[in-house]
């Protein structure tokens, strides 16, 4: 086992070493947002889920079998071009094969772009489709409050910033106001994949200056739901 794989292991009560890899790998490599990574760490800790941080160098050095020693890879928001280019085509191929053979994947915003058929070493877990930005981008909007409608009939206001709409892939879990998919889920081989174009895990600093009707705690609880569903290969209610 590579020493870096267990660089950080977190549970609510204490951080302690384990005899094997943590069940969750949280990518914090080049192109990811440090604030988003920190917010995800806080949610993982609150849910008593063990995880390891893994950067670009460490992920590039892992074989498919080493990646498969964990159950879930989370790729957070940031710059998907820089994120993908921080890896190599061979490391992306290792991740893709690992998902096909049972690794689960949660991609948030940039992580969703990276999961698709992106020219920047994308994983192509979508088997063809390449996502475009949500329609607000074409109107010159770079960040906003996005009311998301879930298949359960709930409306949650979430933070959106340069995120994709997920047309052409998977089952739709939640929609943007224009009806395009904001959150989707599907299988790739024996792996389970959940992608979101919005940020239910958004830290408080990202929400400042906006008028959110949905409390941060409720959005974070939804983020935890996505994490648990990805980890357990659980199908969420969908349209």
Q: What is the pLDDT along the chain (239 residues), one digit of tens a residue?
A: 333 333 334 333 334 334 457 999 999 999 999 999 999 999 999 999 999 999 999 999 999 999 999 999 999 999 999 999 999 999 999 999 999 999 999 999 999 999 999 999 999 999 999 999 999 999 999 999 999 999 999 999 999 999 999 999 999 999 999 999 999 999 999 999 999 999 999 999 999 999 999 999 999 999 999 999 999 999 999 99
In a domain, 239, yes or no: no
Task: Look up the pTM and report it.
Answer: 0.92
In a domain, 35, yes or no: yes
Q: What is the pLDDT of residue 12?
A: 32
Based on the structure, what is the number of domains in the chain? 1
Can you give the CATH number for the domain in which 111 is found?
3.40.50.880
Per DSSP, the residues of the chain read --GGGGS----SS-----SS--SEEEE--TTB-HHHHHHHHHHHHHTT--EEEE-HHHHHT--HHHHTTSSEEEE-SB-HHHHHHTS-HHHHHHHHHHHHTT-EEEEETHHHHHHSS-TTT---TTSS---EE-GGGGGT--EEEEEEEETTS-EEEEEEES-EE-TTSSEEEEE-TTS-EEEEEEEETTEEEEEESSBTT--HHHHTTS--SS-HHHHHHHHHHHHHHHHHTPPPP--
| C-beta atoms surrounding 2 within 10 Å | 14
Give the domain range for residue 194. Answer: 3-232
Lookup: tokens for 132: 């475009």
In a domain, 63, yes or no: yes
Q: Of 30, 22, 26, whose CA–CA distance to 1 is shortest?
A: 22
In a domain, 211, yes or no: yes
Q: What is the pLDDT of residue 21?
A: 75
Strands 164-165 and 191-196: unpaired
């Amino acid at each position: 086992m590579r020493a870096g794989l267990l660089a950080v292991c977190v549970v609510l009560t204490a951080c302690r070493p384990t005899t094997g890899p943590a069940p969750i790998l949280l990518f914090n490599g080049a192109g990811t947002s440090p604030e988003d990574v920190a917010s995800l760490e806080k949610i993982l800790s609150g849910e008593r889920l063990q995880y390891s941080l893994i950067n670009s160098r460490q992920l590039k050095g892992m074989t498919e079998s080493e990646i498969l020693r964990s159950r879930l890879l989370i790729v957070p928001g940031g710059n998907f071009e820089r994120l993908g280019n921080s890896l190599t085509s061979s490391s992306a191929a290792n991740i893709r094969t690992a998902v096909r053979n049972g690794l689960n994947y949660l991609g948030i915003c940039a992580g969703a772009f990276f999961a698709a058929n992106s020219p920047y070493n994308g994983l192509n877990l979508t088997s063809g489709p390449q996502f475009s930005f949500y329609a607000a981008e074409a109107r010159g909007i770079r960040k906003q409050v996005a009311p998301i409608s879930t298949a359960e009939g709930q409306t949650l206001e979430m933070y959106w910033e340069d995120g994709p709409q997920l047309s052409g892939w998977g089952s739709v879990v939640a929609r943007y106001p224009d009806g395009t998919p904001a959150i989707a889920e599907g299988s790739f081989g024996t792996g389970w994949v959940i992608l979101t174009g919005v940020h239910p895990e958004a830290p408080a600093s990202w929400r400042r200056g906006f008028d959110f009707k949905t409390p941060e705690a409720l959005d974070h609880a939804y983020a935890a739901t996505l994490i648990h569903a990805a980890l357990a290969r659980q199908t969420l209610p969908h349209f």
